[in-house]
């Protein structure tokens, strides 16, 4: 027996130790060089090393930071030299591809939204996960050079918080690990700027006399955002386990996406709308709806429709200055919209409108491709480390993994939710016309939001309430979330941004001025249920004043931990104290043999 265990024991990995020692020596050599450059002045040399070398050239550049994380992760896992180098390079190139796509996306969308705001006096915010991620990054970099890297730091902290909650699952009732990296980045891009604006503003005394964001504000933003994210990832993904088991016939994974609380609630309430036996999968799909199964086609048509309406308003609305018009009297696109001259300078504006809309889709696809590249490497790196730290944890994967089990429900939920969300948009347009200091933006959901949000909710509603729930629940959720996020963004933009103490300097470039003036979600917001409805409510309550934010966000953090004690994760060996108190009967697993024997002996 002893011989067998010795054979199975892995030899010490000297490569990891050597790699770590070499990295430490390189950092020390750079530090000594920094001291020498400052004539051995310890204070000046240390500041130069931290700020000018490490932050401005390494840790503050997102592409290099992500590459370093992959490098360190693969080094710890003992990957070969070639595997480490290839993985690191792919991660860096993926981030750069994301930046190329985001530049094209912002370049096309921003002048249209700015022109529409001049016409209507109301901002337009598209609801799209990738647009939201790009917009938040642009805002943070406008606040300070390299501040967009806060998102990555918060994500790292959040990941380890998630791991700690699982390691303590006997007490926390958290059983699943979020590994959908692209989703995690998008969610961090919502939390970080909101926490910064509402909790670490000038009114809270965390911007110094020189109007520079203090170190305390930076660290506070990153750490608290990480705590919020990690707790949300652990608790919300665990809440999806029981519903996912029902959808997938116990496939053994959880959902790690943008609407985890949403699908958990949909599964819970679906039974009140119908019977699970009357499943959407037993109903014949109309042939006319098959076209919506092609993501690129549907996305292109929806974006073309949205920008067609906006550009027609800009072009033909009475009372607008000619400089704001999309095209001049010669039928050509004006210089204000040079980014829309996709077909060359001599093509008429109608052709440019169509090609520009399709280029927006191309930009989103480029962003998705770049994100998949670096997330794939990060995911392998982090999952390998987490397997060593918390063996036996359930993985929370992309919600699309459930679609194959219930394809009709995806389409029914998507169509139902889309109709309801655009009804909500019509209501928001009416609300935005109400005069006053509280300005409500017009939010417009785009394809990714509509499909993955309403489609996913439809799948889980169907699992407990059949086709009736598949149609009803996404519609109810869709309408409510549009109203709530419009109000939430209105609170943040009308009050939170004004009390932030951020100075819009005339020396900044035009793009930075636009983002500091209009807020972190000037050109997009996440747009999925958990962030529209639940986080939107937090923005409404906490958006008016830092004191309100200091109350509501910590309460949300504690509330999630309490909620974990109530939810039925279907992975428990015994009920929690709160489940006993509220007489909730969770689905229990059989105790492991060793634990059962120990219990009997006691």
161 and 71 co-located in one domain: yes
342 and 393 co-located in one domain: yes
114 and 165 co-located in one domain: yes
Q: In whole angstroms, what is the distance from residue 37 CA to residue 549 CA?
A: 44
Q: Is residue 370 part of a domain?
A: yes
Residue with tokens 């170190």: 215
Q: What is the DSSP letter of 125?
A: E
Contact at 8 Å (CB) between 420 and 458?
no
- Taking the CA atoms of residue 563, residue 567, residue 572 and residue 577 in that order, the dihedral angle to the nearest 10 degrees is 60
231 and 193 co-located in one domain: yes
- pLDDT at position 281, please? 86
CA angle 167, 173, 176 (to 5 degrees): 65
Q: In whole angstroms, what is the distance from residue 571 CA to residue 564 CA?
A: 12
- Taking the CA atoms of residue 400, residue 404, residue 408 and residue 410 in that order, the dihedral angle to the nearest 10 degrees is 0
Alpha helices by DSSP H, 127-180: 129-143, 150-167, 169-172
Q: What beta strand segments (E) does 108-243 contain? A: 124-127, 176-178
Residue with tokens 């006993």: 580
Q: In whole angstroms, what is the distance from residue 214 CA to residue 194 CA?
A: 17
Q: Is residue 202 part of a domain?
A: yes
CA 384 distance to own-chain centroid:
23
567 and 580 co-located in one domain: no
188 and 291 co-located in one domain: yes
200 and 345 co-located in one domain: yes
488 and 576 co-located in one domain: no
512 and 594 co-located in one domain: no
Q: Is residue 36 part of a domain?
A: no
549 and 600 co-located in one domain: no
Q: Is residue 108 part of a domain?
A: yes
- The residues of the chain scoring below 50 in pLDDT are 1-7, 204-205, 208-209, 593-602
- pLDDT at position 151, please? 92
Q: Residue 333 phi/psi, 5° resolution?
A: -65, 135
**Strand 394-397 with 254-255, pairing:** parallel
Q: Tell me how far CA of residue 165 lies from CA of 253, 390, 479, in angstroms.
A: 17, 10, 34
Q: In whole angstroms, what is the distance from residue 190 CA to residue 137 CA?
A: 10
Task: State whether residue 383 is helix, strand or coil.
Answer: helix
- pLDDT at position 5, please? 46
72 and 120 co-located in one domain: yes
Kindly tell me the sign of the dihedral angle through the C-alpha atoms of 264, 270, 271, 272. positive
Contact at 8 Å (CB) between 374 and 151?
no
% of the chain surpassing 90 pLDDT: 46
**Strand 394-397 with 176-178, pairing:** parallel
Full residue range of the structural domain in which residue 444 is found: 60-571
Tell me the pLDDT tens digit for each residue of 49-77. 877 787 778 777 778 888 888 888 888 78
Q: Is residue 267 part of a domain?
A: yes
Tell me the pLDDT tens digit for each residue of 170-227. 999 999 999 888 899 999 999 999 999 999 876 544 554 455 788 888 899 999 999 9
553 and 534 co-located in one domain: yes
- Residue 49: which of 65, 27, 67 has the closest Cα? 27
Alpha helices by DSSP H, 52-80: 62-77
Q: Is residue 11 part of a domain?
A: no
Total domains present in the chain: 2
Q: Is residue 51 part of a domain?
A: no
Q: In whole angstroms, what is the distance from residue 99 CA to residue 94 CA?
A: 9
Structure tokens at 234: 């652990």
Q: Is residue 37 part of a domain?
A: no
């Amino acid at each position: 027996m002893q011989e067998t265990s010795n054979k199975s024991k892995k030899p010490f990995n000297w490569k990891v130790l050597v790699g770590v020692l070499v990295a430490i020596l390189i950092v020390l050599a750079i530090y000594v060089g920094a001291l020498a450059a400052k004539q051995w002045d310890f204070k000046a040399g240390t500041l130069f090393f931290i700020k000018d070398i490490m932050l401005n050239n390494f840790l503050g550049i997102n592409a290099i930071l992500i590459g370093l994380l992959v490098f360190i992760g693969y080094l710890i896992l003992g990957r070969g030299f070639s595997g480490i180098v290839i993985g690191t390079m792919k991660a860096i190139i993926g981030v750069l591809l994301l930046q190329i796509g985001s530049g094209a996306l912002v370049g096309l969308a921003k002048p249209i939204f700015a022109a529409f705001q001049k016409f209507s006096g109301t901002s337009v915010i598209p609801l799209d996960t990738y647009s939201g991620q790009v917009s938040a990054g642009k805002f943070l970099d406008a606040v300070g050079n390299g501040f967009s890297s806060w998102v990555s730091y918060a994500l790292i902290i959040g990941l380890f918080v998630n791991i700690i909650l699982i390691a303590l699952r006997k007490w926390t009732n958290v059983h699943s690990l979020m590994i959908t990296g692209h989703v995690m980045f998008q969610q961090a891009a919502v939390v970080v700027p909101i926490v910064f604006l509402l909790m670490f503003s000038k009114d809270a005394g965390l911007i110094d006399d020189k109007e520079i964001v203090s170190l305390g504000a930076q660290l506070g933003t990153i750490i608290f955002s990480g705590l919020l994210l990690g707790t949300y990832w652990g608790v919300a993904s665990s809440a999806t386990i029981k519903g996912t088991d029902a959808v997938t016939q116990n496939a053994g994974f959880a959902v790690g996406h943008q609407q985890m609380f949403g699908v958990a609630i949909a599964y819970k309430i679906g039974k009140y709308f119908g019977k699970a036996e009357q499943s959407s999968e037993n109903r014949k799909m109309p042939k006319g709806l098959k076209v919506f199964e092609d993501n690129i086609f549907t996305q292109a048509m929806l974006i073309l429709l949205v920008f067609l309406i906006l550009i027609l308003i800009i072009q033909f609305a009475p009372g607008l200055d000619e400089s704001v018009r999309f095209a001049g009297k010669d039928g050509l696109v004006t210089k204000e919209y040079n980014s829309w001259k996709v077909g060359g300078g001599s093509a008429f504006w109608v052709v440019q409108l169509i090609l520009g809309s399709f280029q927006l889709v191309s930009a989103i696809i480029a962003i998705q491709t770049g994100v998949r590249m670096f997330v794939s490497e990060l995911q392998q790196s982090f999952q390998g480390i987490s397997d060593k730290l918390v063996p036996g944890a359930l993985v929370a994967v992309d919600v699309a993994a459930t679609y194959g089990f219930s394809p009709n429900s995806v389409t029914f939920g998507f169509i139902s939710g889309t109709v309801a969300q655009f009804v909500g948009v019509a209501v928001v347009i009416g609300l935005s016309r109400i005069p006053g200091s509280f300005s409500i933006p017009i939010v417009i959901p785009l394809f990714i939001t509509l499909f993955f949000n309403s489609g996913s909710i439809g799948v889980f509603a169907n699992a407990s309430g059949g086709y009736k729930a598949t149609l009803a629940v996404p519609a109810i959720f869709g309408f409510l979330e549009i109203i709530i996020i419009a109000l939430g963004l209105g609170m943040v933009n009308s009050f939170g941004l004004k009390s932030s103490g951020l100075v819009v300097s005339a020396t900044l470039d035009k793009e930075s001025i636009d983002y500091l003036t209009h807020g972190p979600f000037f050109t997009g917001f996440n747009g999925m249920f958990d962030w529209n409805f639940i986080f939107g409510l937090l923005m409404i309550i906490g958006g008016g004043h830092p004191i309100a934010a200091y109350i509501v966000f910590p309460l949300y953090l504690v509330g999630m931990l309490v909620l974990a004690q109530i939810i039925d994760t279907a992975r428990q060996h015994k009920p929690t104290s709160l489940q006993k108190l509220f007489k909730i009967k969770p689905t229990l697993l059989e105790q492991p043999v060793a634990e059962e024997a120990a219990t009997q002996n006691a």
